[in-house]
Every structure is written in C-alpha cells, then in structure tokens.
C-alpha cells in the first residue's frame, strides 16, 4: 500500500497511523509489536530525568461506555516509572526496526534539564523528539506538563532549549486545556519547533460512584481531576488541529479520539499529516490498524487521492465562521422506508422538541411547513434512515404506496408499540 506512505519531519513513514505516547508504548517489547502489526510508528511513553520519576497509582483508568462503545476514557497515569538506564536498554532493542523512533520527554521549567533530556534522546537513537508540555494531572503540580503548556513563554523557552542542543527534529505536544491554542503554537514555532502535535488529554471528571460518593477513577477513597481521551474528545482535537493548521505553517500530528480510519481521515483533512492513536488501540488492540490501512487505501483509490499529502487540509476551505453559513436555503428530512424500523424516535423527538412535522415516519409523511430543518430526527435515528435534502415549494407531503416489506430488525431498546 504505497499510497499510504507519508513523509513527516524528514522521515518516511509506512502509513500515517502512529501509536501515541501512553501505556501501549511502556517498553521496547510493546513498541516492537506495534511496528510488527503494521503501524507507521510509535511514540515512546514520556521519559524524564530519574529525579522526576514516580510510581503510578492503582487503579488509574475509568471508562465512559464500554469496549467498542467506549466514548471516553479517564486516566491518572503518570509518565514512565522507569529510569533512563532502563530505557537505554529498551530503546536499543528498537534500533533495527524500519520505522522512525519518536521519543517523548518531559521536565520542569529548568531549561538545562530539557537540554539534557534532548541530548539523551539523540544519543540513544531517537529520530524525532516530542516535547510533552501537556499532561494535565500529577505533572502540573510538579511544574511539568500543562503547567508549562499553558504558558506560551515557557513553551517557547523549553522548545528552544531542546532545539538549540539537538540536530534531530523536535515536535511540541500542546495541551487542549487552554482558551486559545494558537498563541501557544506560535510560541513553540518561535522556539524552533519543527512540528506541533495535539491534543493531550482533557482535564475533567468522567463519573462519580454515587453510592460511595467518590469521583472516578479513584484509588481507595479519593479521585482526582485527570486526563480524558477517546472519541468524545475528538471534537476538541479537531477544533484545535484545524485552528493550528489554519494559523501556523508547521506540520501537525493530530491526536484525540481517533477510533476509525474515517476519524483519522477527518483529522488529516483538517490539517494533520499523521495521526496518533491511543485509546482505540488500548481498547481494541493493535490489530485494528490492518483494517484501517486497507479501508483508507480503498477510499483513496475511489476518491482519486494519490498520496496522503493530497488529503491533508482538504476540509479546511469549508471551515468557515458562523456568519458565512447559508440561512436562505432550507433542507428537509427524507426518510428511507427500506431502512426505517418504525421505532418512532424521530417522531417523538420532533413532537417534543422540533416542529411536530413528522407524522408517520415509515411512510415519509412529513409536513414541510412545520419542519424546523434542525436535523434532530436524523440525529436520533438509530439506523441512519434519514437524509436532509433540498426541496422546492414550501409545503409538500410525501406518501409512498403502502408500508415497506423489507424493513430490517434492529434492537434499539424501544418497540414500535412503545414508541407510539
Ligand atoms: C493511559 C494513558 C496514558 C497516557 N500517557 C501519556 C504520556 O505518558 N505522555 C503523553 O504525552 N501523553 C500521554 N497520554 C495521552 C495520549 O498520548 C493522547 O494524547 C490522548 O490519549 C488522546 O488520544 P486518544 O483519544 O487516541 O487516546 C496518555 C493517555 C492515556 C489514555
């Protein structure tokens, strides 16, 4: 699949799918497996000087949803729990791999520490360094992670400290936990960053054990605000990647909620040249990349894209300020009776929140005069039977000849009777 090859920071990647710095990259054996399974590359779990290394708490993960329906994952995991001597041995076992080695590092604002870590990476075979100035828990309290990433001056200074001391490319990994990411990205660029990556996790609380009165995830009787990842965070990742791409001329590695080849393609269309994946690989395993590569290559052939570079930024021209959105042309729902399962969800949602326009969904009976065009019906449809279409004329009834006979049986937890 040569069309998936991509050049990023002077290195050739077999494909744009990279496993981001996190639990899947905790040691050399895991990273060998990642490459053997076909990922474009990996980013070593964040390393630091031995004085900054601490043990992790157990447990440290808590999910919103489960397995393939997991839409959010919260973790309070720290950076590596191993010393640099240990890592020297682990990285040695990766040197023969035909895949660029990206090493993530972290330090306090002590600039000499950043420079030391940068030199250490270069001496130990790294091809690219990622600067983690973005971890939202455990590290900020020690003046690391997003303590640095939320301050453009510090981001500039640490990026420059590493850049001045190494000859390999440096990518600064930005935090989503800011009001505006662009000034921070510009500061990294001014400090000499060769690329930007974002997002790291979003600080929050994803659940509460209401019987024990403890926020999740918790260790014995205490929880903490910590990092959220997974598909629900993709909205923030897409926003910040597109803002960086539109405002700063640097390559971007897009991270956050990539759980399918389509989500990765969206990330690239918003300006990322490579995409990093963590939560999806943790939940579904490293093998997912094989299907993603096959499907992306098929999509590229169908759509006439010859290279990954042809995809990068393709959706940016259609990203506009609200004031430029069209208000005159109206779209209306059209219900495909061969897909409709008569669950009534669209009718109920429209009756209670929309314009009471849907009369009989499976007959496509819609009163266009009452339709608000909001697309709530399309949003609640569990079988994707509703499209929004342009119509001419203000009032139009569509009554098809009799109910369809080949409707699919899909369990949506609501019978047709209950829905009425
Ligand atoms: C358990 C866990 C540990 C993580 N550890 C690190 C880390 O050591 N360094 C880092 O830069 N990011 C770390 N991250 C953040 C990820 O690299 C990534 O930015 C984030 O999870 C968003 O991507 P995703 O939605 O694909 O998981 C970690 C994420 C998780 C879930």
With a 6 Å cutoff on the Cβ, whether 281 touches ligand 1 is no
pTM to 2 decimals?
A: 0.92
**Strands 195-198, 252-255: parallel, antiparallel or unpaired by DSSP?**
parallel
Q: What is the pLDDT of residue 328?
A: 77
For 149-180, the DSSP string reads HT-HHHHHHHHHHHHTT-SS-EEEE--S-SS-
| CA 361–ligand 1 middle distance (angstroms) | 43
With a 6 Å cutoff on the Cβ, whether 124 touches ligand 1 is no
Q: What is the pLDDT of residue 405?
A: 44
Neighbours of 59 (CB within 10 A): 13
Residues tagged active-site: 135
Q: What is the pLDDT of residue 391?
A: 73
With a 6 Å cutoff on the Cβ, whether 206 touches ligand 1 is no
pLDDT digit of tens for each residue in the chain (420 aa)? 899 999 999 999 999 999 999 999 999 999 999 999 999 999 999 999 999 999 999 999 999 998 879 999 999 999 999 999 999 999 999 999 999 999 999 999 999 999 999 999 999 999 999 999 999 999 999 999 999 999 999 999 999 999 999 999 999 999 999 999 999 999 999 999 999 999 999 999 999 999 999 999 999 999 999 999 999 999 999 999 999 999 999 999 999 999 999 999 999 999 999 999 999 999 999 999 999 999 999 999 999 999 999 999 999 999 999 999 988 777 889 999 899 999 999 999 999 999 999 998 888 899 988 999 999 999 999 999 999 988 764 333 343 333 334 444 445 454 445 443
Neighbours of 243 (CB within 10 A): 18
Tokens of 299: 């999509």
Q: What is the pLDDT of residue 330?
A: 77
| CA 21–ligand 1 middle distance (angstroms) | 6
With a 6 Å cutoff on the Cβ, whether 46 touches ligand 1 is yes
CB 15, CB 293: distance < 8 Å: yes
CB 84, CB 106: distance < 8 Å: no
Contacts of 294 (CB under 8 A, 6+ apart): 1
Pocket test residue of 81, 206, 229, 288 for ligand 1, highest count of atoms within 8 A of CB: 229
With a 6 Å cutoff on the Cβ, whether 198 touches ligand 1 is no
**Strands 222-223, 218-219: parallel, antiparallel or unpaired by DSSP?**
antiparallel
What's the rounded Cα separation, in Å, for the pair 175 and 78?
A: 15
Q: What is the pLDDT of residue 409?
A: 46
Pocket test residue of 200, 253, 282 for ligand 1, highest count of atoms within 8 A of CB: 200
Take atom 19 of ligand 1 and give the residue whose Cα is closest.
Answer: 200
Q: What is the pLDDT of residue 402?
A: 38
| Beta-bridge partner residues of 216 | 207
Pocket test residue of 278, 279, 284 for ligand 1, highest count of atoms within 8 A of CB: 278
| CA 298–ligand 1 middle distance (angstroms) | 29
Question: Structural domains in the chain?
Answer: 2-318 (3.20.20.70), 326-419 (3.30.70.20)
From the list 18, 22, 64, 15, the residue with the least C-alpha distance to 233 is: 64
Q: What is the pLDDT of residue 413?
A: 53
From the list 200, 195, 193, 232, the residue with the least C-alpha distance to 63 is: 232
With a 6 Å cutoff on the Cβ, whether 347 touches ligand 1 is no
């Amino acid at each position: 699949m040569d069309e998936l090859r991509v050049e990023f920071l002077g290195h050739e990647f077999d494909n744009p799918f990279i496993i981001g710095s996190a639990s899947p990259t905790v040691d050399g054996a895991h990273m060998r497996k990642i490459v053997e399974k076909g990922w474009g590359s990996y980013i070593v779990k964040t390393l630091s000087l031995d004085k900054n290394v601490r043990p992790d708490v157990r447990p440290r993960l808590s999910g919103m949803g489960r397995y393939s329906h997991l839409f959010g994952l919260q973790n309070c995991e720290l950076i590596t729990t191993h010393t640099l001597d240990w890592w020297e041995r682990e990285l040695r076992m990766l040197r023969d791999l035909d895949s660029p080695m990206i090493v993530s590092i972290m330090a306090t604002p002590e600039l000499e520490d950043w420079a030391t870590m940068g030199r250490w990476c270069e001496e130990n075979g790294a091809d690219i360094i990622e600067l983690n100035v973005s971890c939202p828990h455990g590290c900020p309290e020690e003046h690391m992670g997003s303590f640095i990433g939320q301050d453009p001056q510090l981001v500039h200074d640490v990026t420059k400290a590493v850049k001045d001391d190494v000859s390999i490319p440096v990518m600064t990994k930005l935090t989503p936990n800011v009001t505006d990411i662009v000034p921070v990205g510009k500061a990294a660029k001014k400090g000499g960053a060769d690329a930007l990556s974002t997002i790291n996790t979003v600080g929050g609380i994803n659940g509460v054990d209401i019987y024990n009165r403890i926020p999740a995830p918790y260790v014995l009787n205490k929880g903490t605000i910590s990092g959220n990842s997974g598909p629900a965070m993709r909205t923030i990742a897409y926003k910040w990647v597109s803002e960086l791409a539109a405002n700063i001329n640097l390559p971007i590695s897009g991270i956050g909620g990539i759980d399918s080849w389509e989500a990765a393609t969206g990330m690239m269309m918003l300006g990322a040249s490579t995409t990093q994946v963590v939560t999806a690989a943790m939940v579904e395993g490293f093998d997912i990349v094989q299907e993603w590569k096959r499907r992306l290559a098929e999509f590229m052939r169908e759509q006439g894209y010859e290279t990954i570079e042809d995809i990068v930024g393709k959706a940016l021209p259609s990203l506009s300020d609200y004031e430029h959105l069209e208000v005159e042309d109206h779209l209306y729902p059209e219900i495909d009776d061969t897909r409709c399962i008569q669950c009534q969800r669209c009718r109920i949602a429209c009756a209670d929140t929309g314009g009471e326009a849907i009369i009989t969904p499976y007959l496509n009976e819609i009163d266009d005069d009452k339709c608000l065009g909001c697309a709530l019906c399309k949003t609640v449809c569990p079988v994707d039977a509703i499209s929004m279409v342009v119509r001419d004329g203000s009032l139009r009834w569509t009554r098809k000849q009799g109910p369809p006979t080949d409707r699919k049986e899909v369990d949506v937890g609501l019978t047709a009777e209950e829905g009425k």
